[in-house]
Amino acid sequence: MDDLFFNRDPDEPDAPRTPEAIVTELVDNLVASLINARIYWTNHPRVLASLQTVISLLQEACVKTAKESVAVAVSTDFLVFDDRPLLGASIAAPRLIKALDEWSSGGLKLSKSATVADLEVLLEAIRAAPAEGNGYEQINEKLRRGSRQPIELLPVYREIEDGVEGKPPELRGKCVVPLQLYQSAMDLLQGLTVSVSTGKTIDFAPIQTHAELMLQRLESNEGALMNLARQDHYDAFTFGHSVRVSVLALNFGRSLTKDSGALIQLGTAALLHDVGKAMVPFEVLHSNKALSAEERAEICRHPEYGAQILLDHEHCDPHAISATFGHHCAHGHRGYPKTLHEHRVSMVTDIVGIVDVFEALTAARPYKRPMSPVRAYRIMMGMEDKFDRRLLKRFIQCNGIHPNGQLIQLSSGERARVMRQTTDIAAPIVKVETDREGNFLLPTEQWDLDLSVQSTQVFHVTEQLAEDPATLVSSA
């Protein structure tokens, strides 16, 4: 078993598709087409396939909302749909946000009559840097079809309240730093894939810098980054998977060592572990159909491809090469790639192998609910010889039944955020964020509670709650 084949869990019921989920997937496909247009050209079949998906999702969203168009606004670093922050889509869309920003546009309106040809014009236009003084109106001119405007770039989003402009109402006054870091890591991995696909040299320095920044963020507020890492988004290129694996690996690594140099090596290796997927044909990697034996074998070559890419570079950390090659190798000489001898692997590779599977099992996707940590642990404990058992147990102890950053309901009625684990894996230390009626407390009124030392039954976890993007950001 491995991460790639966990994407759809037949036992999990389909999550209802909300308009937000549909528009999130629409934006992710638009971002995928932007990235593929950088690797190939605007009317390459891979780009056209993503654009066709955008059109299908646009029509689905229009039916669902009973509207003639879908408008997505840009506000600071966020995409906004229906006046609410679209957090999942925002994470993966820094390139789209930057392109719109360069053209002085505050968003995008797609009417349900828009076609793939219209999207091609849009793509071609926004990829170019605007000439001095040119703004989004020039692109709208190109997109006009007689008296119709099937796609329209919108003016800058300006909601003004209390003198603060440019943020949707729910985000005013809230800190968005973890989102910027997460977006920046996604942007970095998008650029890495473009470099690998086009035969350019990889610059490892910014990858190490991002591992270091994520480590610093975890040190100062692990809950915020860990929670952001659980936001669902379609993530056409699985970049989000690598960022989340890195966050999980760093969080676990911190419980094993205080050596920041070793932790940065671990975070860097985790960011790079699936770099070989850039060499697997897009249609195979993202096929919605059952894979043939040849296609499956091709996907299983991504560790070899990845190691070869890194070996062809000077100054690549050996731990990253080892983790890239070995994260699907299992103890007992199982897994892949197959080698004539079983070799001892570094702890970095073992850690990446564990968090890779955990992330794939518990990842949220628009089309499936995330698996609970407990169910994921059960499955992983049942995967004989796949993992170093002692290390897997340490990971479960570190990550807990209620992982850091998780929003939970207490039996007393308050809602609380998991801050740290204790020796009791079911009873973490939490920060109480609401009163019993669900009203949010001011930061100065919030209080810490160690559930492992509660002698009464008043305070125990009754439920893990789904996250509201606005409350998530407020906790940053």
Binding site for Fe ion (CB under 5 A): 3, 274, 356
Nearer to Fe ion by Cβ, of 229 and 425: the residue is 229
- Shortest Cβ 219–Fe ion spacing (Å): 25
Nearer to Fe ion by Cβ, of 167 and 328: the residue is 328
- Shortest Cβ 120–Fe ion spacing (Å): 32
**How many Cα atoms occupy the beta-carbon half-sphere of 210 within 13 Å?**
26
Nearer to Fe ion by Cβ, of 3 and 388: the residue is 3
DSSP string, 147-173: TB-SEEEEPPP--EETTEESS-GGGTT
Crossing angle of helices 302-311 and 318-326, rounded to 10°: 160
Exposure pattern of 260-279 as b/e (b: 16+ CB <10 Å)? Answer: eeebbbbbbbbbbbbbbbbb
Amino acid occupying residue 10: P
Q: % helix / strand / coil in the chain, to the nearest 5?
A: 50, 10, 35
Close Cβ partners of 5 (under 8 Å, ≥ 6 residues apart): none
- Shortest Cβ 352–Fe ion spacing (Å): 8
Nearer to Fe ion by Cβ, of 167 and 277: the residue is 277
Nearer to Fe ion by Cβ, of 3 and 350: the residue is 3
> In the 8-state DSSP scheme, what is residue 468?
P
- Shortest Cβ 241–Fe ion spacing (Å): 6
Nearer to Fe ion by Cβ, of 274 and 350: the residue is 274
Exposure pattern of 233-254 as b/e (b: 16+ CB <10 Å)? Answer: bbbbbbbbbbbbbbbbbbbbbb
The pair phi, psi for residue 180, each rounded to 5°, is -60, -40
* 60: number of Cβ within 10 Å: 18
Q: Which residues pair with 81 in a beta bridge?
A: 72, 84
Nearer to Fe ion by Cβ, of 274 and 388: the residue is 274
Quickly tell me which residue has 């100065």 as its tokens: 444
Q: Residue 120 has which token pair?
A: 């091609």
**Alpha-carbon distance 96 to 77, whole Å?**
10
Close Cβ partners of 430 (under 8 Å, ≥ 6 residues apart): 408, 410, 416, 417, 418, 419, 448, 449, 451
- Shortest Cβ 356–Fe ion spacing (Å): 4
Nearer to Fe ion by Cβ, of 277 and 368: the residue is 277
- Shortest Cβ 299–Fe ion spacing (Å): 9
The alpha carbons of the chain give a radius of gyration, in whole angstroms, of 23
Nearer to Fe ion by Cβ, of 243 and 451: the residue is 243
**Alpha-carbon distance 257 to 192, whole Å?**
29
Nearer to Fe ion by Cβ, of 273 and 402: the residue is 273
